[in-house]
Amino acid sequence: MSKKGENIYKRKDGRWEGRYIKLYDADGKAKYGYLYGKTYGETKTKLQEKQAQICRGQLPQVSKIALYSDILTAWLQSTRINVKESTYVRYKQLIDRHIIPPLGKYVVGKISTQLIEKFVEEKIKSGRLDGKGGLSPKTVTDIITIVKSSMEYASYNGFPVACNLSKLSVKKKEKEMRVLSAQEQKQLTSTLLEETDLCKLGVLLSLYTGIRIGKLCALRWENLNPNDKTLRVRETMQRIQSSEPSERSKTKIVITEPKSKCSIRDIPLPDFLLQIIRQFQGTPKAFILTGERNRYIEPRTMQNRFQRYVRESGIKEANYHALRHTFATRCVEVGFEIKSLSEILGHANVNITLNRYVHSSFDLKTQNMNKLAIVA
């Protein structure tokens, strides 16, 4: 089924017809070209390829003028081979939902810096599609990244660009991150050690190694060898929207390499965890959380299991990521060398560790203050 604004229609003879802008004449009037396919999906793919060819300058044009929607389509196609599928899907969602509706109708050379600044301001204040306020700083930052990169793409391919976006950015609000107190960690650990199963083992791994939920769900027993006391992080799991046109409304689970090289790492395991791990040791290709080769537990399900453990332990509400922050904070409290901690967490540099993940407790501050002596 065609969507509004796509210029794809089903003909009476059963074929699908796609219309695209070949060029704009000197007066800015669009000149159209047509292509055909047996199915909607085939026609849409042909249309995207044709639009990308035009924007790359592979087809003749009277003048280098294009709608921003065409530039975005061509840019997205050009990035597809260089990014993970999940990143491509994320870009496409942001383009379709947040960028093309307000900006796609403009000729790219007519988009001013002021127009983009106003667009970003509106996204911050009231960008949510459900009308409940603005988009998160992270989402707006991703949108800005797409706009900047697509404008650079347009300029590189000879299209005039009028806006200067070099100083455009979003100030991120510092969000208070939940860290379990030492007592809460003790209560949660007690719950996890009671009738421990594979899911509880998974939570223990996160609480005492700092591994993220997506990477935990992707772990297989071949990644965890009690003999060399090492947890090998090699993949991550996430649910994404399908990138296939015929399955656009569907989601799927993907297991891929992490985004950054530093996320691929080996984590030494503490002895008390090794004793528990040896009770469950499974076959190499089996997922750790299920003990089976062809059945996994996805992050969303694992988050729900964790919430149940939180309630059973009687501690305050916490999301799964709090385990990672709790691990980092406890490590600092017992005197971890910060470079080692940064590498265990898979951070690119120690500044990320210190600024985002280390939360000094009041007790630790008190202990440090008590180290001071009177200067006489």
Greater confidence, 226 or 317?
A: 317
pLDDT score recorded for residue 62: 44
Task: Give 231's pLDDT tier (boundaries 50, 70, 90).
Answer: very high
Among the residue ranges 50-54, 288-292, 332-336, the one predicted with the least confidence is 50-54
How, if at all, do strands 224-225 and 30-37 pair? unpaired
And the tokens for 1?
Answer: 């089924």
Instruction: Find the mean pLDDT for residues 213-236.
Output: 94
pLDDT score recorded for residue 247: 55
Tell me: pLDDT of 152 over 90. yes
Task: Give 51's pLDDT tier (boundaries 50, 70, 90).
Answer: confident
And the tokens for 55?
Answer: 């924007």
Percent of the chain with pLDDT over 90: 59
The full set of domains in the chain, from first to last, is: 8-156 (1.10.150.130), 182-369 (1.10.443.10)
Tell me: pLDDT of 362 over 70. no
pTM (predicted TM-score): 0.71
Among the residue ranges 10-19, 108-117, 170-179, 295-304, the one predicted with the least confidence is 170-179
Q: Tokens 């093309």 appear where?
A: 100
Among the residue ranges 26-35, 44-53, 135-144, the one predicted with the least confidence is 26-35
How, if at all, do strands 16-24 and 30-37 pair? antiparallel
Q: What is the mean pLDDT of the chain?
A: 87
67-80 pLDDT, tens digit each: 899 999 989 988 88
Which range of 221-230, 347-356, 364-373 scores highest in mean pLDDT? It is 221-230
Tell me: pLDDT of 188 over 60. yes
User: Cα dist. 251→124, 238, 290 in Å?
Assistant: 27, 10, 22
98-120 pLDDT, tens digit each: 999 999 999 999 999 999 999 99
pLDDT score recorded for residue 81: 80
Greater confidence, 247 or 41?
A: 41
pLDDT score recorded for residue 361: 63
Tell me: pLDDT of 241 over 60. yes
| CB contact at 8 A, 56 and 154 | no
Q: Tokens 């990143």 appear where?
A: 87
DSSP letter, residue 175: P
Burial of 234 (C-beta count, 10 Å sphere; 0-12/13-18/19+): middle
Angle, alpha carbons 337-341-347 (nearest 5°)? 135
Instruction: Find the mean pLDDT for residues 136-152.
Output: 95
160-187 pLDDT, tens digit each: 899 999 889 888 766 778 999 999 999 9
Task: Give 83's pLDDT tier (boundaries 50, 70, 90).
Answer: confident
